[in-house]
A and B are shown apart, each in its own frame.
Chain A
Amino acid sequence: MDYQNIPKEKFVFADPNRRTGDKKFDTKPVSYAKDVWTRFCKNKSSVVAACIIVFLLLFSILVPIIASTTYSEALTDTTYLQYAKLTPKNNLLAPLGIWDGCQKTTLNKATYDYWQAITEETGFTIMPKIYKAGYSQGGPASRSTYYDVKIDTYIKNGMTYLTLTEAQFKDIQAWQNETGIQVIYPAVNIKKIKNEMYKSDANIWYENDMKGAPIMQNGKYQDIYLNSGNEDGYDSLRIDGDDGSLRYARIGGTSDNKSYIVRVFKYTYFQYRYGFEPSFLFGTNAKGQDLLTRLAAGARFSLVLAVCISAINLFIGAIIGSIEGYYGGAIDIIIERIIDILGGVPSMVVMALFQLHLASKVGPVWSMAFAFILTGWIGMSARTRMQFYRFKRQEYVLAARTLGASDRRLMFKHIFPNAMGTLITGSVLSIPGVIFSESSLTYLGIVNLESSTQTSVGTLLSNGNGMLASFPHIIFFPALFISLLEISFNLFGNGLRDAFNPSLKGIED
């Protein structure tokens, strides 16, 4: 066939209705961010971890607002010491017998009687449950009997002696009249307490022997209330069986500046003083501070510190790493040697030196932050440098340079965005590391952050360490918090790393 001269009539017009050219996509293009998001969402454990992180964040932000009470706000209150080591109590669950502020313990007869006396006097049940009563231990030779009981730490707190001014004394009386709750209990005739040791013990209101054990008649405690002496001017609630002859205060001080020594029940005194019944969701620590708000404050501090330090490290590391990677050569070698030296100093030494130096000038928090930043940016700069070496010789960079882009533009507009994924992942993964170091340092006491308004999780842990056997709740909640935080940050970071890594795309399908 003669291809050079094809007759005109052989040609036919193409169908004008038929579309030629590339097919238009029905689907929408998937942007990088969206792709990261979908792949992150596929990773179930990371999503759960992210939820836990959000929950912990909300905990640390909201708890100080919601759970703040007149008690937790009175930060320097000395009455705090009266409410130390109360166990966790939740008012909703308490009737079910769990989370009720009770402790299981074994008492001997003398201690059992001692605590039971509080119930006898006030009517508050101190031992809601007696598992095993009056058994003897260690064979027939042993004469003491034991009780396995559940004891309410809030009631067990018992009585205390307070020295009040006349105004304070009157105020409590007025409150008693108004609410009908007994705070002040009758004064005790101290002369009738035989053992010197128990004379200052406000819980003793009954006749007792040299060992402090009650002398009972017909199984009843015999009271030794004060019913003579100076008139105390008490005009308020009286306990059952008081015909008006009992004294409710011992009077001291001078005649024109009287002081009233009264015996108050700490449980109801708390109500008088702070306006609600004592009940602490996480219990209180050895100083009587509410652990819930304390933990939230510590958590907030730890999180803010860790996030800020990661962000600063990211910033510094990105800049230094960019310069290093972009210019290379002598600059690279010099900075690498500096990094060698900085990286060689053990973090503990850096921290100790900073504490010795700066803590007295700028405070422990800032000096700790400086120490973290001093060596923290190294990891970030190494990542950035790596990315710069990978991309700086690529054609598109050359093209941009040919078009006249400046060094700075090349660095931060063209090369740096490639490193964003690994950098973000790296800084998220460095957050648990910072929290861990911070809590270790405060735990060891190298950094001291404890004050009435400030605390950290590590400090809470170290405060609770000595009481692990008798009051595990003091250490349990901070430990639980930090464990959850570390696990979820690690899972979240891993998920993020996988999501930002385009080479893993489609691998799970």
Chain B
Amino acid sequence: MFKYVLKRIGLMLVVFFIIISICFVLVKLLPNTEATQFGKDRAIIEQRRAQLGYDKPLIVQYGIFIQKTLLGFNWGVSEELYRGQDVWQIFVSKLPPTMLVNTYTMLIAVPIGLLLGIYSALKKNKWQDHVISTGVMIFISVPSYVYAFLVQYLLCFKLTGWVGKEVFPLQMQAGTDYFSWGMFVSLIPAILSLGFGTIAGLARYTRAELCEVLTQEYMLLARTKGLTRGQATVRHALRNSMVPIFPMIMGEFIGIIGGSLIIEQIFGIPGVGPLYINSITARDYNFFMLLSAFYTIIGLASGLLVDLSYGFVDPRIRMGEK
């Protein structure tokens, strides 16, 4: 198992390295414009180009890039968005809001999703199941930004009109007191918009898995040997159905760091998502490289974690076995 994990991590790093190299080449292929943000003086521009190694051949530039970023962990300074500031530090300062919103969402959505899934599996083909399944179908299909509009309209505008004072602010509260009550309240619209999709996805998956497990023969055996329905469900069915569900939740937890671009944009959360979009529109090269690397590694890591957690949840599964 340990060897397998090492092998997978090694492979992941190789893939990551190749993707970053491709990104580097593609960005370097862009039309070469002169950076005039730090002064239009010819001498300054030339000096900066020499300093950053932009006057050297591409392969040497690549070497410099790898040496600086992956080995030295220096991602350079921002060219456009935060002129002259260290990219890494800006990025780290943007992480907490993103993680905060997504952690809250997961903490709320995972239990609700699981409970709904379990309930509808136990009530299979009764009206409760039909209601939940219909709701799940709708919430899975409708794009998250549509909920975001609905939530914004109902909670932020209409509710204010009905109650007479502002209950939920339109945008996230400013400042860095992330664990205050006011901050939590200001995040509720974003949490709701993100949560619906997660709840629905998890409920559907749990229902499907649990339905399958409940018809297995060992369930019948458990009942015949005298367990009540509740005992049999909790001790045997739930545990077994968790085998594929738990990895999915683990994957989502890694995804927390990545966050949701669109929801962050709509609710004005000063997180990583808007930073990435701004770096694309403003052509801030260093931010773009750092965030691309970040999103790539998040994606790869969550895939890896999903695979590995199968083995942790169910010791019978040996990943990578011949």
Residues of A within 8 A of B (CB): 340-341, 344-346, 348-349, 352-353, 355-357, 432, 436, 439-440, 443-446, 461, 465, 468-469, 472, 475, 479, 482-483, 486-487, 489-491
Structural contact, A344 and B262, CB atoms closer than 8 A: no
A-B contact pairs, 12 of them (CB 8 A): A341-B18, A346-B292, A346-B296, A346-B298, A352-B280, A353-B26, A357-B29, A432-B141, A468-B157, A479-B149, A486-B143, A491-B141
Q: CA of A491 to CA of B138 in the docked complex: distance in angstroms?
A: 9
16 more A-B residue pairs beyond the given contacts A344-B296, A465-B266, with a C-beta to C-beta distance below 8 A:
A340-B11, A341-B18, A344-B299, A346-B295, A346-B299, A348-B276, A352-B288, A353-B23, A440-B145, A443-B262, A445-B277, A472-B153, A486-B143, A487-B137, A487-B138, A490-B140
Min distance, Cβ A108 to any Cβ of chain B, angstroms: 16
User: Is B300 touching A468 in the complex (CB atoms < 8 A)?
Assistant: no
Q: Determine if A486 and B141 form an interchain contact, defined as CB atoms under 8 angstroms apart.
A: yes
Q: B215 at interface (Cβ–Cβ under 8 A)?
A: no
Contacts A344-B296, A446-B277 given: A356-B145 contact, CB under 8 Å? no
Does B145 lie within 8 Å of A490, measured CB to CB? no
The answer to whether B292 touches A486 (Cβ under 8 A) is: no
A490 contacts which of B11, B22, B137 (Cβ < 8 Å)? B137
Cβ contact of A353, chosen from B15, B27, B261, B276, cutoff 8 A: B27
Question: How long is the Cα–Cα vector from A61 to B262 in the complex, in angstroms?
Answer: 29
A466 to chain B, nearest CB (A): 11
Q: Assuming the A-B contacts A348-B276, A357-B30, A468-B149, are A483 and B265 also in contact, with contact meaning beta carbons closer than 8 angstroms in the complex?
A: no
Asked whether A344 and B143 contact (CB < 8 A) given A352-B288, A491-B137, the answer is no
| Interface flag for B281 (CB, 8 Å) | yes
Distance of A388 Cα from B243 Cα, bound (Å): 28
How does the 8 Å CB contact mask read for B131-152 relative to A, with 1 for contact and 0 for none?
0000001101111011001001
**Is A344 a contact partner of B19 (Cβ separation < 8 A)?**
yes
B residues in contact with A482, CB < 8 Å? 143, 146
Instruction: Note all chain B residues with C-beta closer than 8 A to A487.
Output: 137-138, 141-142
Which interface residue of B140, B143, B152 has the most chain A CB atoms within 10 A?
Answer: B143
Q: Convert B145-168 into 0s and 1s, putting 1 for each residue whose CB lies closer than 8 angstroms to a CB of A.
A: 110010011001100000000000
Q: In whole angstroms, how far apart are the Cα atoms of A475 and B148 in the complex?
A: 12
A139 to B280, CA, bound (A): 52
Give bound CA distance, A125 to B53, whole Å: 71
A506 to chain B, nearest CB (A): 17
B: residues with CB less than 8 A from A are 11, 15-16, 18-19, 22-23, 26-27, 29-30, 137-138, 140-143, 145-146, 149, 152-153, 156-157, 261-262, 265-266, 276-277, 280-281, 283, 288, 292, 295-296, 298-300, 303
Tell me, in angstroms, the Cα distance from A349 to B261 when the chains sit together: 12
Least CB distance from B286 to A in Å reads: 14
Interface of B is mostly: helix
Residue of B15, B22, B141, B149 ringed by the most chain A CB atoms within 10 A: B141
Shortest Cβ gap from A398 to chain B (Å): 27
Contact of A348 among B145, B146, B149, B295 (CB under 8 A): B295
Decide yes or no: A355 and B280 within 8 Å by CB, A348-B261, A349-B23 being known contacts. yes
Task: Give the Cβ gap from B224 to chain A, nearest Cβ, in Å.
Answer: 26
Chain B residues near A479 (CB-CB < 8 A) = 146, 149
B277 and A461 contacting across the interface, CB-CB below 8 Å: no
A245 to B280, CA, bound (A): 62
B272 to chain A, nearest CB (A): 11
Give the residue of A356, A440, A469, A491 whose beta carbon is less than 8 angstroms from that of B262.
A440
Question: In the complex, what distance in Å separates the CA atom of A411 from the CA atom of B140?
Answer: 37
Give the residues in chain A near B276, CB-CB below 8 Å: 348
The residues of B that contact A461 with a CB separation of less than 8 Å are: 145, 149
Nearest first, the 10 A-B pairs at minimum CB distance are A487-B141, A486-B141, A346-B295, A483-B142, A490-B141, A349-B292, A469-B157, A352-B280, A479-B146, A344-B15
Per the bound structure, the CA–CA distance linking A468 and B146 in Å amounts to 12
B152 touches A468 (CB 8 A): yes
In the complex the two chains form, what is the Cα distance from A436 to B265 in whole Å? Answer: 16
Measured between alpha carbons, how far is A445 from B261 in the docked complex, in Å?
A: 12
- Kindly provide the distance from the CB of B163 to the nearest chain A CB, expressed in whole angstroms: 15
Assembled-state Cα–Cα distance A472/B146 (Å): 12
Once bound together, how far apart are the Cα atoms of A352 and B282, in whole Å? 12
**B294 to chain A: closest residue by CB:** A346
